[in-house]
């Protein structure tokens, strides 16, 4: 692998004549390019008749470039042997380039050790920063996340008595508040997690068991992570209905405080709502919008995520309820957010995306959603206005992202919608 490589995806179209593909591959080899993948939607060499001419063929290839000049060079040289060539995604840093994004579920494996902070290394103000035993334990747990790959069972952690005791304190404190403070979807799912996934104050539930449960509910799955990912990588995973979850727990000296996401935050705050279909759809909508988005738009989407999935409030039955994981995993802010102290604003992605927020203190402003479905529609409308030269959809059958950038792909998508509409029509007719 190229050191500090720029992940790149190229599309090119060739005429159906002897030697066309060989010429392209020879050109790539002569430029010292090592392809990491040539694929099709059938997981074989991608040789689909082109949209422009039934005798043309399209290819998508991935490779790790040394720099932006190498990307430009390969485009220029391939242009001599192809009918069309263009960059679909590349981490070149160029103002006019589309950022590389994962297209297959296995692409998420590249995020395994791309951690910004925390994980093995702790900041000086972390409660466990000066505890060598705690730090060693973190290192032990995070190494499982670093080696994890798509399709593998999530490694089980044998939690210590001290870790379980910390979990129990947090669990008991929070579940006493959920009946009056949590949204109805969270209250509905939590008993199911207790029944099916081993949620109680005597043990820390295992991610693999929870992930299987979520997949049966909404198709969401969990994936272990070493620490904090970049906003782009973290949001990209939502497009595949994947949530990155830590497995380590906060320091026992401060069971009701953590400066970072830990297993209490993930399993008590996030997990219950990923079992709700509308919330799952809303979360995936943010992820789809982030694919190939500019750095500026990713920052806006990350802010929207912050004020919804992390610190969102909704209105249910005339009352305000918390649904954000940052609220549902913090008894202090859970109580504060529904008081008369913070400022409340209606959820509007255009305005929410520009709102500044503190990280180490309670939020002075919260945004209120009327429903998860309405929030999803608003995010979709927001994404449609972003400066991105294509739209995307998630194909659940292949667990891949389809880039809708030409007529043929849109027509194929429309046909699948038409088939679904026929099924819906038949069901409605049968129901009278």
Residue 76 falls in the annotated catalytic set: no
Chain centroid, CA 67 distance in Å: 27
Contact yes or no for 256/333 (Cβ under 8 A): no
231-238 vs 277-290: helix crossing angle, rounded to 10 = 130
Can you list the alpha helix ranges (DSSP code H) found in 291-366?
Answer: 295-305, 325-328, 331-337, 349-352
Chain centroid, CA 413 distance in Å: 23
Annotated catalytic residue: which of 211, 237, 329, 330? 329
Q: How far apart are the first and last CA of the chain?
A: 60
Cβ neighbours for 310, distance < 8 A, ≥ 6 positions apart:
324, 325, 326
Tell me the two tokens of residue 395: 């194909």
CA 125/CA 259 separation, integer angstroms: 9
Cβ neighbours for 166, distance < 8 A, ≥ 6 positions apart:
249, 250, 252, 255, 264
Closest CA to 247 of 264, 260, 259: 264
Residue 126 falls in the annotated catalytic set: no
Q: Residue 257: is it exposed, middle or buried by C-beta count within 10 angstroms (0-12/13-18/19+)?
A: exposed
Using left for φ > 0, alpha for ψ between -120 and 50, and beta otherwise, residue 43 falls in left
Residue 310 falls in the annotated catalytic set: yes
CA 50/CA 130 separation, integer angstroms: 60
In this structure, the dihedral spanned by the alpha carbons of residues 323, 327, 330 and 335, taken in order and rounded to 10 degrees, is -100
Q: What does DSSP assign to residue 186? A: H
Q: Binding residue per annotation — 270?
A: yes
Tell me the two tokens of residue 56: 């043309």
* Other beta carbons within 10 Å of 53: 12
Q: Binding residue per annotation — 310?
A: yes
Query: Apex CA 328: angle with CA 348 and CA 355, to 5°?
Result: 30
Annotated catalytic residue: which of 126, 181, 186, 270? 270
Annotated catalytic residue: which of 310, 333, 391, 400? 310
CA 2/CA 187 separation, integer angstroms: 48
CA 65/CA 75 separation, integer angstroms: 12
Q: Binding residue per annotation — 265?
A: yes
Annotated catalytic residue: which of 163, 186, 265, 290? 265
Chain centroid, CA 110 distance in Å: 13
CA 259/CA 357 separation, integer angstroms: 15
Residue 270 falls in the annotated catalytic set: yes
As annotated, the active-site residues are: 265, 270, 310, 329
**Known binding-site positions for Fe cation:** 265, 270, 310
Residue numbers belonging to the annotated binding site: 265, 270, 310
């Amino acid at each position: 692998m190229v050191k500090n490589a720029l992940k790149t995806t190229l599309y090119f179209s060739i005429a159906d004549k002897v030697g066309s593909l060989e010429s392209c591959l020879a050109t790539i080899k002569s430029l010292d390019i090592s392809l990491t993948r040539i694929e099709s939607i059938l997981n074989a060499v991608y040789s689909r008749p082109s949209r422009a001419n039934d005798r043309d063929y399209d290819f998508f290839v991935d490779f790790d470039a040394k720099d932006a000049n190498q990307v430009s060079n390969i485009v220029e040289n391939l242009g001599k042997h192809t009918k069309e060539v263009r960059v679909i995604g590349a981490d070149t840093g160029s103002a006019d380039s589309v950022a590389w994004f994962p297209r297959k579920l296995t692409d998420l494996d590249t995020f395994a050790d791309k951690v910004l902070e925390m994980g093995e290394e702790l900041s000086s103000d972390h409660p466990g920063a000066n505890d060598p035993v705690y730090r060693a334990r973190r290192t032990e747990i995070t190494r499982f996340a670093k080696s994890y790959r798509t399709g593998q069972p999530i490694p089980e952690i044998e939690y210590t008595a001290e870790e379980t005791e910390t979990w129990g304190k947090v669990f008991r404190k929070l579940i006493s508040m959920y009946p009056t403070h949590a949204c109805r979807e969270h209250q509905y799912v939590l008993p199911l997690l207790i029944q099916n996934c081993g949620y109680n104050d005597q043990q820390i539930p295992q991610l693999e068991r929870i992930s299987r449960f979520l997949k049966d509910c909404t198709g969401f799955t969990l994936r272990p992570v070493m620490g904090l990912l970049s906003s782009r990588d973290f949001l990209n995973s939502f497009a595949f209905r994947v949530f990155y979850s830590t497995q380590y727990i906060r320091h026992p000296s401060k069971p009701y405080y953590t400066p970072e996401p830990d297993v209490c935050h993930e399993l008590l705050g996030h997990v219950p709502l990923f079992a709700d279909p509308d919330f799952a759809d809303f979360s995936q909508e943010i992820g789809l919008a982030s694919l190939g988005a500019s750095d500026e738009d990713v920052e806006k989407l990350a802010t929207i995520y912050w004020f919804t999935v992390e610190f969102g409030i909704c209105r249910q039955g005339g009352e305000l309820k918390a649904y954000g994981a940052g609220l549902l995993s913090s008894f202090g802010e859970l109580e504060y957010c529904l008081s008369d102290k913070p400022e409340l604003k209606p959820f509007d992605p255009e305005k929410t995306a520009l709102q500044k927020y503190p990280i180490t203190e309670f939020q002075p402003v919260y945004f209120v959603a009327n429903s998860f479905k309405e929030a999803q529609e608003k995010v979709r409308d927001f994404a449609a206005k972003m400066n991105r030269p294509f739209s995307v959809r998630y194909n659940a059958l292949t667990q891949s992202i389809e880039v809708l950038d030409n007529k043929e792909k849109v027509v194929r998508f429309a046909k699948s919608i038409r088939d679904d509409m026929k099924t819906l029509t038949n069901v409605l007719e049968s129901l009278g």
